[in-house]
């Protein structure tokens, strides 16, 4: 069932993006006829229905629209907040923001849209498709199957060193993996904010520690582990992954959330990185599961990693991964990578989040970085619009 989270059509089978120039040229031809250059400064932000509904009350939760508004002002862009439920063929009912006020109005669909809505149902997917006919939507797909992302990256031999050994779950593979590895993670392949994740750790006695949710792990025999995992997995899609021996901070494992985005020049950049230290007794670092945000410099110093060198290495790995993946996925431009560092200082990819919620930066009071995670996608939108204007000029000559 969760297989439907993943839209195979959006993977480029041959590793090539569709002819973006042609897509843009078609759109521009229309925009040129429909009203000229001023229209090009409008950028769509596609929100889920609940966030959209809350715009007038300004209580949009994790989506800090004030930051989009601020960035839009600085970049001289007009934003049009949309919800798929309100999108028609050529126009949409959405919110504009002007002179500190939101106004609900019908407008033609902007030529470029930043997608922040996770469309899973067939009807929402159909609406998204409709929208994509009149707007270039980046991050159109924003929920990916973890194992498929693993396989895509694995195709590139240069990136394999950053991937913990992973396989799709089956009982037979679990038994094999338990013979090969002394610690394993078994996790759902769709997004889970730390839910449903099992950790196994072999003990000297031959028994295994079984970590599940909070509380002390249980000591179980191999057969008990296999039975219990099978029961928990049920009919869901799961993967088995070698456990990364994560570096620790005061005895607790930590990993990093790295915001990787395309910006003003169209190329990938690392906008920010923040550490997350697992809550006491937890095997996951997710903030939703009590993980505490911590500046990477503090963590690296404690782990005796040279902070600047480690940050440079992380940036390089994050960029390598996204430069590779963006040739294989359809127009992805804003992700959050979960990167682990093992006790030896090796960097490993845990997962790629297709709609980064960015709030860990806010929790860590990294306000400038938090702002930049909102600003960068708008810089990228502006870059796309400029590309399009260039195309217009080329067409005119
Ligand atoms: N292979 C692994 N080795 C060590 N820790 C892991 C591994 N996989 C997951 N974790 C821990 O569990 C957390 C959640 O896993 P993740 O794959 O990011 O799923 P989610 O979508 O739930 O965030 C990670 O941030 C990390 O703390
Ligand atoms: Mg995660």
Q: Report the CATH number at residue 29.
A: 3.40.50
Quote the CA–CA distance of 244 and 340 in Å, as a whole number.
Answer: 7
Using the mean position of ligand 2's atoms as its centre, give its distance from the Cα of residue 194 in Å: 7
Residue minimizing CA distance to atom 14 of ligand 1: 194
Using the mean position of ligand 1's atoms as its centre, give its distance from the Cα of residue 217 in Å: 17
Q: Regarding beta strands 136-138 and 112-115, do their DSSP bridges make them parallel or antiparallel, or are they unpaired? A: parallel
Using the mean position of ligand 1's atoms as its centre, give its distance from the Cα of residue 163 in Å: 13
Residue minimizing CA distance to atom 11 of ligand 1: 284
Q: Among 255, 335, 348, which is best to mutate for testing ligand 1, by the most ligand atoms less than 8 A from CB?
A: 255
pLDDT of residue 390: 55
Q: Is 91:44 a contact under the CB 8 Å cutoff?
A: no
Last residue of a domain, one of 223, 242, 261: 242
Q: Regarding beta strands 334-341 and 252-262, do their DSSP bridges make them parallel or antiparallel, or are they unpaired? A: antiparallel
Q: Give 287's DSSP letter.
A: G
Do 265 and 366 lie in one domain? The reply is yes
- In ligand 1, which atom is closest to the CA atom of 192? 22
Q: Reduced to 3 states, what is the DSSP secondary structure of residue 223?
A: helix
Determine, yes or no, domain membership for 149: no
Q: How many domains does the chain have?
A: 3
Using the mean position of ligand 2's atoms as its centre, give its distance from the Cα of residue 94 in Å: 32
Quote the CA–CA distance of 300 and 145 in Å, as a whole number.
Answer: 30
Do 253 and 337 lie in one domain? The reply is yes
Q: Among 146, 149, 177, 185, which is best to mutate for testing ligand 1, by the most ligand atoms less than 8 A from CB?
A: 185
Predicted TM-score of the model (pTM): 0.90
Residues whose CB falls within 8 Å of the CB of residue 308, separated by 6 or more in sequence, listed in order: none
Q: Is 199:183 a contact under the CB 8 Å cutoff?
A: yes
pLDDT of residue 389: 66
For tokens 């979960």, what's the residue?
338
Residues surrounding ion ligand 2 at CB below 5 Å: 338, 351
Q: Among 197, 239, 273, which is best to mutate for testing ligand 1, by the most ligand atoms less than 8 A from CB?
A: 197
Q: Which helix (H) or strand (E) holds 240?
A: strand 238-242
Q: Is 201:217 a contact under the CB 8 Å cutoff?
A: yes
For tokens 């078609």, what's the residue?
26
Do 12 and 138 lie in one domain? The reply is yes
Q: Is 241:184 a contact under the CB 8 Å cutoff?
A: yes
Determine, yes or no, domain membership for 155: no
Quote the CA–CA distance of 231 and 224 in Å, as a whole number.
Answer: 11
- Give the domain extent around 182: 166-242
- In ligand 1, which atom is closest to the CA atom of 246? 4
Determine, yes or no, domain membership for 178: yes
Q: Regarding beta strands 78-83 and 42-47, do their DSSP bridges make them parallel or antiparallel, or are they unpaired? A: parallel
pLDDT of residue 191: 77
Q: Is 329:11 a contact under the CB 8 Å cutoff?
A: yes
Do 259 and 310 lie in one domain? The reply is yes
CB atoms within 10 A of CB 133: 12
Do 254 and 357 lie in one domain? The reply is yes
Determine, yes or no, domain membership for 365: yes
Paired strand residues for 348? 340
Tokens standing for residue 274: 């923040």
Tokens standing for residue 240: 């088995």
Q: Is 259:361 a contact under the CB 8 Å cutoff?
A: yes
Ligand 1 site: residues with CB under 6 angstroms? 164, 185, 187, 191-194, 197, 241, 243-244, 246, 255, 284-286, 338, 340, 350-351
Buried b (16+ CB within 10 A) or exposed e, 335-354: bbbbbbbeeeeebbbbbbbb
Using the mean position of ligand 2's atoms as its centre, give its distance from the Cα of residue 192 in Å: 8
Do 295 and 224 lie in one domain? The reply is no
Determine, yes or no, domain membership for 148: no
Do 192 and 255 lie in one domain? The reply is no
Q: Give 289's DSSP letter.
A: G
Q: Reduced to 3 states, what is the DSSP secondary structure of residue 365?
A: coil
Residues whose CB falls within 8 Å of the CB of residue 326, separated by 6 or more in sequence, listed in order: 262, 268, 332, 333
Using the mean position of ligand 1's atoms as its centre, give its distance from the Cα of residue 229 in Å: 17
Determine, yes or no, domain membership for 392: no
pLDDT of residue 392: 40
Query: Where does the chain have alpha helices with state H?
Result: 20-34, 49-53, 65-75, 122-134, 146-154, 171-180, 222-233, 296-302, 307-325, 359-363, 367-396
Determine, yes or no, domain membership for 384: no
CB atoms within 10 A of CB 92: 26
Tokens standing for residue 161: 């060193």
Do 307 and 254 lie in one domain? The reply is yes
Determine, yes or no, domain membership for 158: no
Do 129 and 208 lie in one domain? The reply is no
- In ligand 1, which atom is closest to the CA atom of 253? 27
Q: Among 162, 292, 299, 340, which is best to mutate for testing ligand 1, by the most ligand atoms less than 8 A from CB?
A: 340
Using the mean position of ligand 1's atoms as its centre, give its distance from the Cα of residue 350 in Å: 6
Last residue of a domain, one of 242, 269, 287: 242
For the chain (397 residues), the mean pLDDT of every run of 10, in chain order, is 37 40 41 42 96 96 96 97 95 96 97 96 94 96 96 98 98 98 97 91 97 94 98 96 98 98 98 97 96 98 98 98 96 98 98 96 97 98 86 39
Using the mean position of ligand 1's atoms as its centre, give its distance from the Cα of residue 131 in Å: 34
């Amino acid at each position: 069932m969760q297989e439907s989270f993943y839209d195979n059509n959006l993977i480029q089978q041959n590793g090539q993006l569709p002819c973006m120039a042609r897509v843009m040229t078609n759109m521009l031809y229309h925009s040129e006829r429909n009203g000229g250059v001023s229209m090009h400064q409008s950028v769509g932000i596609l929100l889920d229905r609940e966030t959209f509904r809350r715009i007038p009350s300004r209580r949009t939760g994790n989506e800090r629209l004030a930051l989009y508004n601020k960035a839009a002002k600085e970049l001289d862009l007009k934003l049009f907040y949309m919800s798929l439920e309100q999108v028609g063929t050529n126009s949409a009912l959405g919110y504009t923001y002007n002179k500190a006020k939101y106004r609900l109005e019908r407008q033609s669909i902007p030529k470029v849209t930043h997608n922040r809505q996770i469309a899973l149902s067939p009807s929402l997917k159909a609406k998204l498709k409709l929208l994509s006919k009149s707007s270039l939507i980046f991050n159109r797909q924003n929920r990916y199957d973890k194992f498929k992302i693993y396989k895509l990256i694995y195709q590139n031999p240069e990136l394999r060193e950053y991937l913990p050994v992973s396989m799709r779950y089956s009982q037979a593979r679990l038994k094999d993996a338990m013979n090969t590895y002394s610690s394993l993670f078994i996790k759902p392949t769709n997004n889970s904010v730390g839910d449903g994740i099992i950790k196994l750790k072999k003990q000297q006695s031959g028994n295994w520690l079984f970590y599940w949710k909070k509380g002390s792990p249980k000591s179980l025999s191999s057969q008990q582990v296999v039975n219990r995992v099978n029961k928990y997995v049920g009919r869901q899609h799961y993967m088995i992954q070698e456990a990364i021996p994560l570096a620790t901070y005061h005895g607790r494992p930590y990993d990093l959330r790295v915001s990787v985005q395309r910006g003003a020049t169209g190329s990938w950049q690392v906008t920010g990185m923040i550490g997350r230290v697992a809550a006491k007794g937890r095997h996951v670092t997710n903030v939703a599961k009590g993980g505490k945000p911590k500046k990477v410099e503090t963590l690296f110093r404690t782990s005796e990693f040279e902070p600047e060198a480690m940050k440079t290495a992380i940036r390089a790995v994050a960029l390598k991964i996204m430069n590779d993946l963006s040739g294989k996925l359809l127009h992805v431009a804003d992700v959050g990578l979960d990167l682990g560092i093992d006790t030896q200082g090796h960097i490993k990819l845990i997962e790629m989040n297709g709609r980064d919620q960015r709030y860990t930066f806010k929790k860590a009071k990294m306000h400038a970085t938090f702002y930049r995670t909102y600003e960068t996608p708008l810089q990228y939108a502006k870059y796309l619009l400029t590309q399009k204007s260039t195309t217009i000029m080329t067409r005119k000559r």
